[in-house]
Amino acid sequence: MTSPQSPQIPHHVAIIMDGNNRWAQARGFSGVRGHRAGVEPVRAVIRRAAKRGVGVLTLFAFSSENWKRPAGEVNALMELFLMVLKREVKKLHDNNIRLTIIGEREAFSRSIQQHIQRAEALTRHNSGLHLIIAANYGGRWDVARAAKRLAQRVEAGELSAKDIDEQRLDDEIGLNGAPPVDLCIRTSGEQRLSNFLLWQLAYSELHFSPLLWPDFDADAFDDAINDFLNRQRRFGMTQEQIEAQGA
Protein backbone atom coordinates (compact mmCIF):
# COMPACT_ATOMS: atom_id res chain seq x y z
CA MET A 1 0.00 0.00 0.00
CA THR A 2 1.26 3.49 -0.79
CA SER A 3 2.32 5.38 2.33
CA PRO A 4 1.63 9.09 2.91
CA GLN A 5 4.51 11.29 1.90
CA SER A 6 5.62 14.79 1.14
CA PRO A 7 5.38 15.00 -2.64
CA GLN A 8 8.51 14.48 -4.68
CA ILE A 9 8.73 14.52 -8.46
CA PRO A 10 5.71 12.42 -9.50
CA HIS A 11 6.76 9.03 -10.80
CA HIS A 12 3.70 8.72 -13.03
CA VAL A 13 2.05 11.69 -14.76
CA ALA A 14 -1.07 11.37 -16.92
CA ILE A 15 -2.36 14.09 -19.23
CA ILE A 16 -5.77 14.64 -20.83
CA MET A 17 -4.75 16.65 -23.88
CA ASP A 18 -7.83 18.79 -24.47
CA GLY A 19 -8.57 21.88 -26.53
CA ASN A 20 -7.24 21.22 -30.04
CA ASN A 21 -10.58 21.96 -31.69
CA ARG A 22 -11.20 25.15 -29.73
CA TRP A 23 -7.67 26.34 -30.49
CA ALA A 24 -8.29 25.82 -34.21
CA GLN A 25 -11.76 27.38 -34.20
CA ALA A 26 -10.47 30.51 -32.47
CA ARG A 27 -8.09 30.95 -35.39
CA GLY A 28 -10.54 30.08 -38.14
CA PHE A 29 -8.84 26.75 -38.84
CA SER A 30 -10.29 23.28 -39.22
CA GLY A 31 -10.25 20.91 -36.25
CA VAL A 32 -7.63 18.83 -38.03
CA ARG A 33 -5.26 21.81 -37.98
CA GLY A 34 -5.68 21.93 -34.22
CA HIS A 35 -4.78 18.28 -33.84
CA ARG A 36 -1.67 18.78 -35.95
CA ALA A 37 -0.71 21.78 -33.82
CA GLY A 38 -1.00 19.54 -30.78
CA VAL A 39 1.90 17.33 -31.86
CA GLU A 40 4.65 19.77 -30.84
CA PRO A 41 3.39 20.09 -27.22
CA VAL A 42 3.53 16.29 -27.04
CA ARG A 43 7.20 16.39 -28.02
CA ALA A 44 7.90 19.22 -25.55
CA VAL A 45 6.19 17.46 -22.64
CA ILE A 46 7.97 14.17 -23.34
CA ARG A 47 11.33 15.93 -23.35
CA ARG A 48 10.59 17.83 -20.14
CA ALA A 49 9.14 14.80 -18.35
CA ALA A 50 12.29 12.81 -19.12
CA LYS A 51 14.49 15.70 -18.00
CA ARG A 52 12.58 16.13 -14.71
CA GLY A 53 12.92 12.44 -13.86
CA VAL A 54 9.30 11.38 -14.38
CA GLY A 55 9.26 7.61 -14.76
CA VAL A 56 5.97 7.10 -16.61
CA LEU A 57 4.02 9.53 -18.80
CA THR A 58 0.54 8.54 -20.01
CA LEU A 59 -1.15 10.65 -22.68
CA PHE A 60 -4.85 10.45 -23.57
CA ALA A 61 -4.71 10.67 -27.36
CA PHE A 62 -8.04 9.25 -28.54
CA SER A 63 -10.98 8.14 -26.41
CA SER A 64 -13.46 5.41 -27.27
CA GLU A 65 -16.08 8.17 -27.43
CA ASN A 66 -14.14 10.11 -30.08
CA TRP A 67 -15.46 7.79 -32.81
CA LYS A 68 -18.69 9.82 -32.53
CA ARG A 69 -17.00 12.86 -34.04
CA PRO A 70 -17.48 13.77 -37.72
CA ALA A 71 -16.08 11.09 -40.03
CA GLY A 72 -13.68 13.52 -41.69
CA GLU A 73 -12.13 14.48 -38.37
CA VAL A 74 -11.86 10.85 -37.25
CA ASN A 75 -10.17 9.87 -40.52
CA ALA A 76 -7.74 12.76 -40.19
CA LEU A 77 -6.96 11.74 -36.62
CA MET A 78 -6.20 8.19 -37.75
CA GLU A 79 -3.90 9.51 -40.49
CA LEU A 80 -2.14 11.73 -37.93
CA PHE A 81 -1.77 8.82 -35.52
CA LEU A 82 -0.22 6.68 -38.25
CA MET A 83 2.10 9.50 -39.32
CA VAL A 84 3.32 10.01 -35.76
CA LEU A 85 3.92 6.27 -35.34
CA LYS A 86 6.01 6.27 -38.53
CA ARG A 87 8.01 9.42 -37.85
CA GLU A 88 8.46 9.66 -34.11
CA VAL A 89 9.19 6.13 -32.91
CA LYS A 90 12.85 6.09 -33.99
CA LYS A 91 13.39 9.36 -32.12
CA LEU A 92 11.84 7.82 -29.02
CA HIS A 93 14.07 4.77 -29.39
CA ASP A 94 17.19 6.89 -29.90
CA ASN A 95 16.34 8.66 -26.61
CA ASN A 96 15.91 5.39 -24.69
CA ILE A 97 12.14 5.91 -24.33
CA ARG A 98 9.85 2.89 -24.12
CA LEU A 99 6.47 3.16 -25.88
CA THR A 100 3.29 1.29 -24.94
CA ILE A 101 -0.17 1.75 -26.45
CA ILE A 102 -3.23 0.91 -24.33
CA GLY A 103 -6.81 0.68 -25.59
CA GLU A 104 -8.93 -1.45 -27.87
CA ARG A 105 -6.67 -1.89 -30.90
CA GLU A 106 -9.06 -4.02 -32.97
CA ALA A 107 -10.92 -0.92 -34.14
CA PHE A 108 -7.82 0.49 -35.82
CA SER A 109 -6.76 -0.28 -39.36
CA ARG A 110 -4.39 -3.18 -39.97
CA SER A 111 -1.64 -0.71 -40.85
CA ILE A 112 -1.98 1.17 -37.54
CA GLN A 113 -2.04 -2.09 -35.58
CA GLN A 114 1.11 -3.28 -37.32
CA HIS A 115 2.94 -0.02 -36.63
CA ILE A 116 1.89 -0.17 -32.97
CA GLN A 117 3.36 -3.67 -32.69
CA ARG A 118 6.60 -2.61 -34.38
CA ALA A 119 6.93 0.48 -32.19
CA GLU A 120 6.43 -1.47 -28.99
CA ALA A 121 8.82 -4.20 -30.11
CA LEU A 122 11.53 -1.69 -31.07
CA THR A 123 11.39 0.20 -27.75
CA ARG A 124 10.49 -2.66 -25.41
CA HIS A 125 13.88 -2.90 -23.70
CA ASN A 126 14.53 0.83 -23.35
CA SER A 127 15.15 1.88 -19.75
CA GLY A 128 14.34 5.58 -19.82
CA LEU A 129 10.95 7.27 -19.66
CA HIS A 130 8.02 4.90 -20.20
CA LEU A 131 5.61 6.67 -22.56
CA ILE A 132 2.08 5.23 -22.61
CA ILE A 133 -0.43 6.39 -25.22
CA ALA A 134 -4.12 5.74 -24.51
CA ALA A 135 -5.75 5.35 -27.93
CA ASN A 136 -9.34 4.15 -28.41
CA TYR A 137 -9.35 3.95 -24.65
CA GLY A 138 -12.11 4.36 -22.07
CA GLY A 139 -11.88 3.90 -18.32
CA ARG A 140 -15.17 2.00 -18.08
CA TRP A 141 -14.13 -0.26 -20.95
CA ASP A 142 -10.87 -0.95 -19.15
CA VAL A 143 -12.57 -1.97 -15.88
CA ALA A 144 -15.25 -4.02 -17.68
CA ARG A 145 -12.58 -5.87 -19.68
CA ALA A 146 -10.66 -6.64 -16.50
CA ALA A 147 -13.83 -7.96 -14.83
CA LYS A 148 -14.58 -10.11 -17.89
CA ARG A 149 -11.10 -11.63 -17.81
CA LEU A 150 -11.47 -12.51 -14.14
CA ALA A 151 -14.90 -14.03 -14.80
CA GLN A 152 -13.42 -16.17 -17.57
CA ARG A 153 -10.73 -17.43 -15.19
CA VAL A 154 -13.40 -18.33 -12.63
CA GLU A 155 -15.40 -20.18 -15.30
CA ALA A 156 -12.29 -22.08 -16.32
CA GLY A 157 -11.67 -23.13 -12.73
CA GLU A 158 -8.37 -21.23 -12.56
CA LEU A 159 -9.63 -18.87 -9.89
CA SER A 160 -12.26 -18.78 -7.16
CA ALA A 161 -14.60 -15.81 -6.81
CA LYS A 162 -13.48 -15.39 -3.20
CA ASP A 163 -9.93 -14.80 -4.44
CA ILE A 164 -10.90 -11.69 -6.41
CA ASP A 165 -9.72 -8.52 -4.71
CA GLU A 166 -8.34 -5.13 -5.70
CA GLN A 167 -4.93 -6.55 -6.59
CA ARG A 168 -6.44 -9.22 -8.85
CA LEU A 169 -8.44 -6.59 -10.71
CA ASP A 170 -5.45 -4.28 -10.88
CA ASP A 171 -3.46 -7.08 -12.52
CA GLU A 172 -5.96 -7.12 -15.41
CA ILE A 173 -6.23 -3.36 -15.93
CA GLY A 174 -4.67 -1.73 -19.00
CA LEU A 175 -1.82 -0.12 -17.06
CA ASN A 176 -0.90 -3.39 -15.41
CA GLY A 177 2.73 -3.14 -14.34
CA ALA A 178 2.81 0.66 -14.26
CA PRO A 179 2.75 2.48 -10.91
CA PRO A 180 -0.41 4.37 -9.85
CA VAL A 181 -0.85 7.81 -11.38
CA ASP A 182 0.51 10.48 -9.03
CA LEU A 183 -0.54 13.53 -11.03
CA CYS A 184 -3.22 13.96 -13.69
CA ILE A 185 -3.16 17.14 -15.80
CA ARG A 186 -6.06 18.30 -17.94
CA THR A 187 -5.75 21.24 -20.31
CA SER A 188 -8.34 23.66 -21.75
CA GLY A 189 -9.95 24.65 -18.44
CA GLU A 190 -12.33 21.70 -18.35
CA GLN A 191 -12.50 20.04 -14.93
CA ARG A 192 -13.57 16.44 -15.45
CA LEU A 193 -11.92 13.08 -16.12
CA SER A 194 -13.89 12.18 -19.26
CA ASN A 195 -13.67 8.43 -18.67
CA PHE A 196 -9.87 8.43 -18.43
CA LEU A 197 -8.03 5.93 -16.19
CA LEU A 198 -10.92 5.73 -13.72
CA TRP A 199 -9.32 2.92 -11.72
CA GLN A 200 -5.78 4.24 -11.81
CA LEU A 201 -6.62 7.83 -10.73
CA ALA A 202 -8.09 6.82 -7.35
CA TYR A 203 -5.49 8.78 -5.34
CA SER A 204 -4.07 11.04 -8.02
CA GLU A 205 -3.58 14.75 -7.57
CA LEU A 206 -5.48 16.71 -10.24
CA HIS A 207 -4.19 19.82 -12.00
CA PHE A 208 -6.43 21.76 -14.39
CA SER A 209 -4.66 24.11 -16.77
CA PRO A 210 -6.59 26.89 -18.55
CA LEU A 211 -4.33 26.53 -21.60
CA LEU A 212 -5.62 24.83 -24.73
CA TRP A 213 -3.42 21.85 -25.59
CA PRO A 214 -1.56 23.45 -28.55
CA ASP A 215 -0.55 26.29 -26.18
CA PHE A 216 0.67 23.93 -23.46
CA ASP A 217 4.46 23.74 -23.30
CA ALA A 218 7.35 22.65 -21.12
CA ASP A 219 6.93 25.65 -18.81
CA ALA A 220 3.26 24.81 -18.29
CA PHE A 221 4.27 21.25 -17.50
CA ASP A 222 6.72 22.59 -14.92
CA ASP A 223 3.91 24.68 -13.40
CA ALA A 224 1.84 21.52 -12.95
CA ILE A 225 4.78 19.69 -11.37
CA ASN A 226 5.44 22.61 -9.00
CA ASP A 227 1.76 22.69 -8.04
CA PHE A 228 2.01 18.97 -7.21
CA LEU A 229 5.14 19.52 -5.11
CA ASN A 230 3.27 22.02 -2.92
CA ARG A 231 0.52 19.56 -2.00
CA GLN A 232 0.27 17.11 0.86
CA ARG A 233 -0.86 13.62 -0.12
CA ARG A 234 -2.90 11.98 2.66
CA PHE A 235 -4.18 8.71 1.14
CA GLY A 236 -7.19 8.74 3.48
CA MET A 237 -5.26 9.73 6.60
CA THR A 238 -5.47 12.96 8.60
CA GLN A 239 -2.90 15.71 8.49
CA GLU A 240 -2.04 14.98 12.12
CA GLN A 241 -1.31 11.33 11.33
CA ILE A 242 0.96 12.29 8.46
CA GLU A 243 2.84 14.84 10.57
CA ALA A 244 3.27 12.23 13.33
CA GLN A 245 4.77 9.77 10.83
CA GLY A 246 7.20 12.41 9.64
CA ALA A 247 8.27 13.32 13.15
Residues annotated as catalytic (active site), given as ranges: 18, 66
Q: How far is CA 58 from CA 12, 75, 130, 141, in A?
A: 8, 23, 8, 17
Q: How far is CA 124 from CA 56, 81, 83, 127, 132, in A?
A: 14, 20, 20, 9, 12
Q: What are phi and psi of 170, to 5 degrees?
A: -60, -35
Question: In whole angstroms, what is the distance from residue 226 CA to residue 231 CA?
Answer: 9
Which residues, listed in sequence order, are joined to residue 134 by a DSSP beta bridge?
A: 60, 102
The neighbour count for residue 3, using CB atoms within 10 Å, is: 9
Question: In whole angstroms, what is the distance from residue 14 CA to residue 202 CA?
Answer: 13
Strand order in the sheet with 205-208: 98-102, 130-137, 56-63, 12-16, 183-186, 205-208
